[in-house]
Amino acid sequence: MTANFTLDQELGKKNVVKAGNFKLGETGLIRDLTKTGTSVVENSGMMVEVMIVQASAPLTAPAGLGVKFDTADYGKKVGSFSGAGEICHGIVDPNLVGNIATNDTFLIFRKGPMPIISSAAISAGAGVKSAASGKFQTASEMAPTRQGFLMVAAGAGDQVRRAYMDFTVP
């Protein structure tokens, strides 16, 4: 269920709710912003759907990487990065700094414009899908679910580029 609130104030934060809170799995909206230190840049004026989740395992330097839900607590907990050809359920808040520990709560981006990390060169306008370690690669087909398209070309791997993604489709 989408909540009637915005979560802009929670961007870049860990432990947005207490572990075990009924808010886990709740979705809300944020403005399409990028935070750098104390600076905030409005990117597109669009809203991005986000979800509050809890880590069931530690995630190292996860900002901007794709994650997948745990099967036991589907829609509430994540414990690993999405792999090549796997379904990705969201992007870890790109504004987070550092690692995520087990039981930390945080936001994942689910639908809208967002930064992703490339695994190789990708052309602007190309479809993208999950690659290894939570990164993204060119998708030759647009039919599989939970994909998007790249807005700005990535010249090589490990580049942060903006894409429009939708991880909410069944």
Residue-wise DSSP of 84-110 = TTS---EEE-TT--S-B-TT-EEEEEE
Cα(154)–Cα(160) distance, integer angstroms? 8
Note whether 51 and 90 are within 8 A (CB): yes
**pLDDT at res. 106:** 92
For residue 20, CA distances in Å to 52, 76, 77, 91, 158 come to 11, 10, 10, 21, 34
Note whether 100 and 19 are within 8 A (CB): no
Mean pLDDT of the chain: 85
**pLDDT at res. 170:** 65
Q: What is the pLDDT of residues 5-40, one digit of tens each?
A: 566 567 778 888 866 667 888 888 888 877 777 788
Q: Which two tokens stand for residue 44?
A: 């597109």
| pLDDT above 50 for 82 | yes
**pLDDT at res. 145:** 46
For residue 112, CA distances in Å to 38, 55, 104 come to 24, 22, 24
**pLDDT at res. 99:** 95
Task: Give the residue extent of every domain in the chain.
Answer: 2-166
Q: What is the pLDDT of residues 108-130, one digit of tens each?
A: 999 999 999 999 998 888 888 88
**pLDDT at res. 151:** 86
**pLDDT at res. 8:** 59
**pLDDT at res. 87:** 87
The residue among 7 and 1 whose pLDDT is bigger is 7
**pLDDT at res. 65:** 95
Q: What is the pLDDT of residues 91-100, one digit of tens each?
A: 999 989 899 9
